[in-house]
Structure 1
Amino acid sequence: MAANRNLKQVRIENSSPVTPLGMVGGGGSNLKGLRGLETESEAAAAMALVPSKEGGDEEQEVGFTIDIKSFLKPGEKSYTQRCRLFVGNLPTDITEEDFKRLFERYGEPSEVFINRDRGFGFIRLESRTLAEIAKAELDGTILKSRPLRIRFATHGAALTVKNLSPVVSNELLEQAFSQFGPVERAVVVVDDRGRATGKGFVEFAAKPPARKALERCSDGAFLLTTTPRPVVVEPMEQFDDEDGLPEKLMQKTQQYHKEREQPPRFAQPGTFEFEYASRWKALDEMEKQQREQVDRNIREAKEKLEAEMEAARHEHQLMLMRQGKIR
């Protein structure tokens, strides 16, 4: 079954209800909107999605072949929550078959859900790359006079992990949290030089194990390495830093029109605007300084506790040696 899925033939009917934006026209337009593809090989794999026509104006069935393996990165698991798309502004009379047909060229989905009354649905594709391509191609496409709004669904089973030791890797983090349930992805966050930041995140396959991990780590002291420094686990804050808030989605409220009366500008010295803008800047600077002072205090307290811990560990080992419990 896996082999059949790895190399599948997807057939596209000329009567398909939606034509992806990136497939309209020729030349460079075929790569339009394929943001999120990190390598040339991924972009080349994405081009496999573009059908080619032969035989002039004769009516024909156009097909293409997708090698699903080319869309899975090394070690990436298939059909994870990262591959789940939210589709908004759906027609109220859309059927499940119509919904699946929208995404048929991007592989076989594992989850399809539609709320017709509220006009939205969810679909889960096999890989993140396929989901990226589907989102880029179909977002904004008109379906029955409605522009589709496609976003990645919020991951409801993701946790942030803090206080990580510099020796903790992605693999160790996944191994540690797998005791609570299946883990889809575990990542240790690094800076621009590849150095561990002491933070990471764990994405579970479902909510129950994520809740279990959160409760157990809050009630107990979960240690990942020899050092008795427990990790801190919190629900992960999730932001949309890719699509943001486009103008077309802004709600044109009374406040919107009032605030938009003035264009972007620099406040002129000596004006009412400049006076209060300066007071806001002073308040922001005070907040920045106080946060920096708190960070320094916390950092010094951690360094002191770490030194005390090492001294106490040494004393403890000496005591055990005197008692003959270790050599």
Structure 2
Amino acid sequence: MDSSTGAAPGLRERLGSAVFARVAGPAGPENRARIHGTPGPRWFGPDRPIRTVHGDASMFIGGLRALLLQSLHPLAMAAVEAHSGYRGDPWGRLQRTSTFLAVTTYGTADHAQQAVDRVRAVHGTVRGTTPAGEPYDASDPHLLGWVHVAEVESFLLAHRRFGAEPLDAAGYDGYVADTAHVAEALGVIDPPRSRAELVARLGSYRAELRSTREAREAARFILLHPPLPWAARAPYAVLAANSVAALPRWARTSLDLPRLSGVGEACVTPTGRALTTAIRWAMAPARQASRSAAPG
């Protein structure tokens, strides 16, 4: 059926609105209008790779992978466990994160800086000790660096695998360089600016990563017990399976996640492509409206 006739437009609008409401929250329409409609200079122009990656449905899989990978740093996990409220308000946390990404990627430079300032103020209050007695501080540039590189690698990998418009090598290097601008604003010292630097920086954290009870419990909550209506459980399971399949084997083992054979991964990936294509289709009208509202 032609998507411009019959029932398809109504179905697309309903699905797109449901996804947007879940990810962006009650203030989503207002935030979208402010982000895309406010005139002024941006940190990133319309041709920058960060806009291509962060505007794609592959972010749903990349975001889940990032949360799982980030949990393997015991200091980062302890901070999340004690201060984020991810169990009591998981959607609120998702909505705050998605709004931050949208503002810093597409919003005016002033709004992006204000968003960064708010996050840094919150980080300044997040301190404590792990169950093993190790002190953590969310403003620690080294810890911020881990959260950053785990996130960037996850978004990049998911986009390469599931993105509608995969970038070339220079484009993905550009994406890493774009994200470095945001990372520096948040307090990361000398973040990576190319894929080679990203791989090297990730490797430098490997000795600090380990399985903890908190990380394993967080993985079970994220993957098996999401606060979703039953109708949304099957699509979410596809996202979850693909986020697990995208993890390195050592990370799956550390989180007690099932090991997939090469054949198993080959079977999972097409479901991820199909679902991200469906999400992309459902969200297309909202993206077109955002682009038409954006200045310049």
Q: Which has the higher helix share?
A: 2
Q: Which has the higher strand share?
A: 1
Fold match (TM-score > 0.5): no
TM-score using structure 1 length: 0.27
TM-score using structure 2 length: 0.29
